[in-house]
Amino acid sequence: MAGIPKKKRQTTTNVLSKNHMAVDRPVSWVSIFFWWLLVFFTAITLWIGNGYYLSHLFERDRHFSHLSDFEREMSYRTEMGLYFSYYKTIINAPSFTDGVYKIMNDNITEYGHTINTLQRFNLYPELLLSAAYRIFKGLVQEKDWKKYEICWRVNRGNLPPIDSCEGIGNSHFFYVYNVFGIAGSVLASVFLLGVILSGSYFGGLISASAFLFNHGEATRVQWTPPLRESFAYPVFLAQICLLSYILKTKSCKLIPFISFTFLTVSSLLFWQFSQFALTTQLGSLFLVYTLELTYESTMKSLLKSYMISFLISYSLLFGNTMLLSSLFFSSIVSIFVIMQLRVFVLSRITFRPIFILAHLLFFVLGVFGIKSLIGRLLDIRDDDHIFDILRSKFTDFANFHTRLYTCAVEFDFISTEA
| pLDDT 10s digits, 231-258 | 999 999 999 999 999 999 888 889 999 9
Positive or negative torsion for Cα 41, 42, 47, 53: positive
- The answer to whether residue 69 sits within a structural domain is yes
Positive or negative torsion for Cα 400, 404, 406, 411: negative
- The answer to whether residue 112 sits within a structural domain is yes
Indicate the pLDDT class of residue 281, thresholds 50, 70 and 90. very high
- The answer to whether residue 103 sits within a structural domain is yes
Backbone dihedral angles phi then psi of residue 372, each to the nearest 5 degrees: -65, -40
In this structure, what is the dihedral angle of CA atoms 81, 85, 87, 91, given to the nearest 10 degrees?
140
**Kind of pairing, strands 22-27 and 150-156?**
unpaired
Look at 14 and 315; give whichever has higher pLDDT.
315
- The answer to whether residue 276 sits within a structural domain is no
Contacts with 74 (C-beta within 8 Å, 6 or more apart), sequence order: 81
Mean pLDDT of 50-69: 90
Mean pLDDT, the chain, rounded, equals: 87
- The answer to whether residue 58 sits within a structural domain is yes
pTM: 0.86
- The answer to whether residue 95 sits within a structural domain is yes
- The answer to whether residue 308 sits within a structural domain is no
Q: Hey, what amino acid is at 185?
A: S
Indicate the pLDDT class of residue 80, thresholds 50, 70 and 90. very high
Counting the structural domains of the chain, the total is 1
Secondary structure, 3-state, 210-268 = HHHHCHHHHCCCCCCCCCHHHHHHHHHHHHHHHHHHHHHHCCCCHHHHHHHHHHHHHHH
CB 168, CB 184: distance < 8 Å: no
- The answer to whether residue 397 sits within a structural domain is no
CB 50, CB 56: distance < 8 Å: no
For residue 156, give its domain range.
32-176
